[in-house]
Amino acid sequence: MKKEKRKYSKKISPREQAFLSLLAIDREGAFSNLEIKKVLSRSLFSKPDMHLYTALVYGVLQNELYLDHQIKKMLKSRTSLDFKVRELLRIGAYQLLMMDRIPDYAVISETVDLCKKYCPRAKGFVNGVLRNMARQKQQLKNWSWSDYENSVQALSIRASVPREILDIFLQVFGTKKGVQILMQMNQPSPLTLRANRLKTSREKLIHLLEEDGIESEKTLLSQEGIRVENASVTELSGTQACQSGLFTIQDQGAMLIAETLDPKAGEQVLDMCAAPGGKTTYFAEMMENCGQIVARDLYPSRLKLIDAQAARLGVTIICTEIGDSTKLDAKDHGRYDRVLLDAPCSGLGIIRRKPEIRYRFNRKEQKALIQIQRKMLLNAADALKAGGTLVYSTCTVDPKENGEQVQWLTQNRKNMKIEMTRQISLLDDRCDGFYMAKLRKTAQD
């Protein structure tokens, strides 16, 4: 399949760049957050164009099933849409149905112009579909549950969540909470910071941010978390507080995982899948920069991210190592007081941040992932001293990767005892969807 050439210049419009980025995400498997970051770092968009580009990419991905459903209503027959034509129609439909500030004529004109460039034979078709949608816009927007075959279909389409994933959420959280979570899944994620207790306090950091005109408040669950309401990551990165290492940008749920491990000064800690290092550096802050943390990852480039974070925060007790956590060196057996296994997973708990995850979920791939998680869990248990603590965490909500894995570990390592488990969601002070389990090793093998 031929790839569209990526473009990153000031001459390209935000709509065209959104089209090319969506092709890269949907056809080439790019991740939305990395694609957007790459585009914004290389292009010369004005601030309004940056916002439009970002809104289009995330908006189309977050609402793909809903947009396809509405586009289908505009087709007179079971028309088979070319991939590029479908992507253009999604971009146009999103602007017509979900972005009130752009005039209909501008949406249609811009989309047809893009069609002339990338699939000229379809320009009349695209023009007709979008004009028809514009005429029926109010009717399409005024939906009710009775418009669908059943409530499950309605929820799947309105939240743009495939049925298989919808079923997992309803199973884990129950119908009432599950529906609440799914209907809020496409809202923006909050921006949260972790105060660096080696250099400041949460109260002092809130005051410093206020002096820079940044409104913030304490998070309800994490002891060091701060939620920011009126600033972007870019704006925060430019503050003196950031450059001085007074905080780290991190989701509150990730902070809770580190707080669950609760490492102490002077201990030996292993972070098995550490990059990019948010939890690793929090461990060091909790340990008062005293002891040793071994942070491992498969790729040197990712370890550099940990080293850079540690240097900015004033952390000196982290030792980064290239390592495959599906294997355990003899020197690691029974060595550590505490181990974190933040395992690779299906990522269903962070769909807000990476909306394309919902369309890539695959049970066959998940089965292979579960076997990797199990190898890592055995190694994590074996790396602990007697009396040591293991925290197993994921950013998914599927019990097959969470509770069932922890039960499997206790059956295969009889000396591992569960002390607590917790599944959080955006209903928990707007956190991402993290699972965490705390286990203690009662005796050495």
Domain boundaries, the chain: 14-148, 152-183, 191-249, 257-441
257-441: in CATH 3.40.50.150: yes
Whether residue 315 is predicted with pLDDT greater than 80 in this model: the reply is yes
Rg (CA), the chain: 24
Taking the C-alpha atoms of residue 4 and residue 317, their distance in angstroms, rounded to an integer, is 46
**pLDDT tens, residue by residue, 199-223:** 999 999 999 999 999 999 999 999 9
Cβ contact 357:351 at 8 Å: yes
**What's residue 6's pLDDT?**
56
The domain 191-249 having CATH identifier 3.30.70.1170: the answer here is: yes
Q: Angle between the 278-286 and 252-261 helix axes, to the nearest 10 degrees? A: 50
Average pLDDT along the chain: 94
What three-state secondary structure class fits 158?
helix
Nearest one of 299, 257, 304, 298 to 277, comparing CA atoms: 304
What digits encode the pLDDT tens for the residues 256-289? 999 999 999 999 999 999 999 999 999 999 999 9
Do 151 and 158 touch, CB atoms closer than 8 A? no
For residue 218, the one-letter residue type is: K
Q: What is the β-pairing status of strands 435-441 and 247-249?
A: unpaired
Confidence at 1, pLDDT banded by 50, 70, 90: very low
Is the CB of residue 280 less than 8 Å from the CB of residue 292?
Answer: no
155-183 pLDDT per residue, tens: 999 999 999 999 999 999 999 999 999 99
For residues 18 and 56, is the Cβ–Cβ distance under 8 A? Answer: yes
d(CA 424, CA 26): 29
pLDDT of 443 reads 80
| Catalytic residue selected from 242, 273, 395, 431 | 395
CATH code given to domain 14-148: 1.10.940.10
For residue 445, pLDDT over 80 is answered with no
Residue for token pair 């980064």: 320
- What size, in residues, is the chain? 445
The per-residue pLDDT for range 26-65, each reduced to its tens digit, is: 999 999 999 999 999 888 899 899 999 999 999 999 999 9
Residue 444 token pair: 């050495």
The enclosing H or E element of 437 equals strand 435-441
Let me know: does 227 contact 195? Beta carbons within 8 Å: no
Block residue for tokens 């320009």: 123
Please spell the DSSP secondary structure of 252-288, one letter per residue. Answer: HHHHHHHHHH---TT-EEEETT-TT-HHHHHHHHHTT
pLDDT single digits (tens) 337-394: 999 999 999 999 999 999 999 999 999 999 999 999 999 999 999 999 999 999 999 9
What is the pLDDT at residue 7?
A: 54
Q: How many Cα atoms occupy the beta-carbon half-sphere of 331 within 13 Å?
A: 2
The burial class, CB within 10 Å (0-12 / 13-18 / 19+), for 180 is: middle
pLDDT bucket at 188, cuts 50 / 70 / 90: confident
Is 395 part of the annotated catalytic residue set? yes
Mean pLDDT of the 112-123 span: 96
pLDDT value at 293 more than 90: yes
- 387-443 tens-digit pLDDT: 999 999 999 999 999 999 999 999 999 999 999 999 999 999 999 999 999 999 998
HSE-CB of 130 using CA atoms within 13 angstroms:
30
Please report the pLDDT score of residue 289 as a whole number. Answer: 98
